[in-house]
Amino acid sequence: MDRRTYLGAAAGTVGTLAAGCLGRGAQETSLGEPEDQGADSEDLPYPAYGEEFPESTLPDALSGEEVSTADFEDDRVVVMTFIYTHCPDGVCPALTQVLRHAQADAVEKEYTGDVAFLATTFDPERDTADVLREFGDEQGVDYEAGGWHFLRPESEERAREVVTDTYGVEYERIDPSEMQGDHSGHDMGEYGFDHYPITYLVNREGYVERAYTGVPGTSRVVEDLGTVTGN
């Protein structure tokens, strides 16, 4: 079974995901193997528990600086998710809230210097720096605390290369009329996306501790993050 066929079966109606399988490194993790993963890491089509996290470099939309995941190795734990701000069903705001609450816990317990929060858009056409900053303000992101980055690929082609090919988040641009549910109260513009949510928790050594699919519980992520950072 090829990668996309597997994903179509696994993701069902919510979307698909894709990525290459990487080498195992479970001996480098702080957390035990997740009970709800559903398959061994090497059998999953995205970077999963105990595998090396792929490297990427993208611009921070707000600062203009290039941010490389490799820069955080041996320095910070990484929490990374993938969003677009016109999301009509609350999934992308919910994913952002997970990171925001994790950031708030780090602020409260004074370990913000140990974590990088990376929210990556796959809609660079509309998610400009101003749009992302406004979205972050609406979500309560604490920019003064440090460690938060809204990453914005330079083009749609680059977004596909990083978000899908590198990190396994398959997304499909669709007409608003194709979106399931009633979104009459939300202006998504000329198009939306069908996408499968994934959030990564990566330790300082660059190994995946958790690949949360769907929208993970905030308390679970906060607890896992505390364990991985030693806080």
Beta strand residue intervals within the chain, DSSP E: 57-59, 66-68, 77-83, 115-121, 148-151, 171-174, 192-195, 198-202, 208-213
CA distance 79 to 56: 14
Pair 70, 202: CB distance under 8 Å: no
Residue 87 annotated as part of some ligand binding site: yes
Residue 92 annotated as part of some ligand binding site: yes
Which helix (H) or strand (E) segment is 10 a member of?
Answer: helix 3-11
> Which residues are 202's β-sheet partners?
78, 208
Q: Report the Cα 129 to chain-centroid distance in Å.
A: 18
Residue 21 annotated as part of some ligand binding site: no
Residue 114: HSE in the Cβ half-sphere, 13 Å Cα cutoff: 16
CA distances from 45 to 27, 49, 66, 211 (A): 21, 12, 27, 11
Q: Which residues contact residue 82 at a Cβ distance below 8 angstroms, ignoring those fewer than 6 apart?
A: 95, 119, 120, 121, 122, 163, 167, 169, 195, 197, 198
Q: Annotated binding site: which residue ranges?
A: 87, 92, 195
- Detail the residues annotated as belonging to a binding site for Cu cation: 87, 92, 195
